Amino acid sequence: METKEVSTEDAGVYNGYGSRGFIARFMTSEVSPTCEPLGIHNKFIICTGLLGGTAVSSSGRLSIGGKSPLTNGIKEASSGGTAANDLARHGIRAIIIERLPASDDRGTYVVVVSDEGVRLETMNELQYMGARNTIKALRQRFGEKAGVICNGPTGERLMRGAGVVCASPHGEMRFAARGGMGAVMGSKQVKAVVIIPAASSKVEYFDKAVFTEAAKEYHQMLVDAMPTIKKSNQLYGTTGMFKIVNELGLCPTRNFTLGAFDQHKEIGGEKLVELIQARGGDGKTGQACMNGCMIKCMSIFPDKDGKAVCSTVQYENLSLIGSNLCLGSLDEIARLNDKVNDLGLDTIETGAALGVAAEAGAAEFGDIDSFMKLMDEIEAATPLGRVIGNGVKTTGEVFGIKDLPMSKGQAFPGYDPRALKGNGVTFAMTPMGGDHTLGNCYGARATVPPLSCEGQGDLSRKTQLQMAGLENMGFCIFARSYLFKKPELFTKFTYGMCGTQMTVDEFWEQGHETARLEYEYNVKAGIAPAQDKLPEYMYRVPLPPTNHVFDLTDEELQKGRLC
């Protein structure tokens, strides 16, 4: 950034690696593990998965990487939206923003990708603009079909609860939410990356026939499953989980002091769909957040007059800014969710921080106005707002709250580890701390009971390996259950794209290698294995209604260590 030079390079040794796989390898080679996350030596990485830009359903996730200012370790956060496919169709697999602007440079910059190449524009008029208007302004300027990756005002102000926004087809905001990567983007003073669609795709295949065959086979699986997809994913997205999570008593409620919410029926997936269908207007279920997706889990939640409020309300939103704050109304949750989104914040980190703030008396559980006031503080960047915008650890430390729902400085998502013990292993043992995307054990609850003390380490480990494999490709989590039935598809896709021949075992080993590199990066960053732990109160304070504490042995926890 200091020089504002734009240069391009061949993929080189990174050929064959996408998303998390690419980020782990790039960080290992090119970013000093001891660098300051918001300093001159961190790099802000935007990249696609291996299948980005292809017509394969649900493979167009965008990945954001760098050293996290929340965990001080390596981070990959991924998002839906159209940008990854747009980028890949230009033949671009990654954009890396290096160094910092000069100290007297107050500019706000936009990276513009077009058929003419990549350039940097100064657009100071976008400084501190909300994410929604930023997307709107950029699409007005660069075309309604432009892919947009942007930062909200909180990321620009270096608040470490900020995520990175990636726009969906109609301007809805998707998030590479976790790890405070919006603050890293903000440190570079890059407000947005805009991708004007390529006139023709530059995606190259090593063996298109093999690739197409695999794609057909995979798409047929989705077609076969379509009746189920329509009844579940397209209707509820992830919100269908809410009811079950409540029944299992693992739903973050009242700042992680309860595992079930008494008003759960008012804010569950069924109620969500009922309201969307009854209200009509802008309200919709079954929307695709990226081109070519057959699963289409996105919804648009309308207000009473049918006007769009928020897209998309998902499970983590219902729990972290719903039950966790004792908000028993979807209208309230959607309003708060939209504000969190527009400010460019991670709903998980922010929901957890708001819960701690309420615990400290800065807001009242169940009172939406008190939480909206805190959002106004964040928007105005007051000291109180900045505290909350910096996430759960800062909020807790500033307010002197000792028991904080987090691991490695990052807030827990919507699964209390006392009642879903496998996720406790994941939160404790993985390099990214309180992040379920590295190995969510919820889906295996039928085989390993969430409250059992046995099998959790192995389950977490297995799930971590699956995710590390999946996340090289750029696939959405919703594709997992289909693809895992036939992992040969992964090897065929890889061969078809870039000619790398591997067995299924080698495919999994590649994911394992990604996780190993991440782990080693963290150790070199000074995050020793001693930091692989859960907060002490989880071991001591029982969680109603199951009244379980987190009681896995250290030996069991260690089974969840991939490296």
Name the residues that contact a second copy, by CB under 8 A: 33-36, 38-41, 157-160, 187, 362, 382-384, 386-387, 390, 394, 397-400, 402, 523-531, 533, 535-537, 540
Shortest CB 4 distance to a second copy, Å: 19
Cβ–Cβ < 8 Å for 176, 64: yes
DSSP string over 424-453:
HHHHHHSTTSS-GGG---GGGTTTS-TT-S
- Of 369, 412, 449, 375, nearest to 154 by C-alpha is 375
Smallest distance from the beta carbon of 531 to a second copy, in angstroms? Answer: 4
| DSSP category for residue 108 | -
For residue 30 the two structure tokens come to: 């090119």
Instruction: Please state the closest distance from residue 33 (CB atom) to a second copy, in A.
Output: 7
Q: Please, what is the minimum distance in Å from the beta carbon of residue 264 to a second copy?
A: 26
CB atoms within 10 A of CB 413: 26
Looking at the Cβ atoms of 394 and 426, the one nearer to a second copy is: 394
When the beta carbons of 156 and 513 are compared against a second copy, the nearer one is 156
Q: Are the C-beta atoms of 168 and 80 separated by less than 8 Å?
A: yes
User: Which candidate, 490, 475, 546, places its Cα nearest to that of 61?
Assistant: 475
Beta strands 190-195; 173-176: pairing state: unpaired
Task: Report the residue number, 41 or 219, with the smaller CB distance to a second copy.
Answer: 41
Q: How far is the CB of 160 from a second copy (least distance, A)?
A: 7
Nearer to a second copy, 515 or 527 (CB): 527
Beta carbon of residue 324, minimum distance to a second copy (angstroms, whole number): 20
CB atoms within 10 A of CB 38: 18
Residue with Cβ nearer a second copy (180 or 439):
180
Least distance between a second copy and beta carbon 371 (Å): 15
Nearest to 169 by CA among 341, 289, 53: 289
Residues 6+ apart with CB under 8 A from 56: 215, 218, 219, 292, 493
Question: Read out DSSP for 152-203?
Answer: -HHHHTT-TTB-EEEE-TTS-EEEE-GGGHHHHHHHTTEEEEEEPPPSS---
Q: Which helix (H) or strand (E) holds 242?
A: helix 241-247
The answer to whether the CB of 354 falls within 8 A of the CB of 388 is yes
**Minimum CB distance to a second copy, residue 375 (Å):** 15
With respect to a second copy, which residue has the nearer C-beta, 168 or 394?
Answer: 394
Q: Are 357 and 363 in contact (CB under 8 A)?
A: yes
Half-sphere exposure in the Cβ direction for 305 (13 Å, CA): 2
* Backbone angles phi and psi of 166, in degrees to 5: -130, 125
Cα 313 to Cα 532: distance, rounded to the nearest angstrom: 31
The closest of 63, 86, 342 to 194, measured between CA atoms, is: 86
State which residue, 113 or 525, has the beta carbon closest to a second copy. 525
Residue 278, burial from CB neighbour count under 10 angstroms (0-12, 13-18, 19+) = exposed
Minimum CB distance to a second copy smaller for 25 or for 533 = 533
Choose among 515, 536, 537, 519: nearest CA to 528. 519
Minimum distance from residue 97 beta carbon to a second copy (Å):
16
Q: Smallest distance from the beta carbon of 409 to a second copy, in angstroms?
A: 11
Specify the residue, 446 or 528, whose C-beta has the smaller distance to a second copy: 528
Give the shortest CB-559-to-a second copy separation in angstroms: 19
Output 30 or 115, the one with its CB closest to a second copy. 30
The candidate with the shortest Cα–Cα distance to 48, out of 13, 3, 17, is 17
* Separation between Cα atoms, residue 458 and residue 446, nearest integer Å: 15
Choose between 38 and 272: whose C-beta lies nearer to a second copy.
38
Cβ at position 154, least distance to a second copy in Å: 10
CA 376, chain centre distance (Å): 24
Minimum CB separation of residue 294 from a second copy in Å reads: 42
CA pair distance 353, 332, nearest whole angstrom: 18
Q: Which of residues 204 and 364 has its CB atom nearest to a second copy in the complex? A: 364
Quick one: 108 or 440, whose CB is closer to a second copy?
A: 108
Q: Are 157 and 182 in contact (CB under 8 A)?
A: no
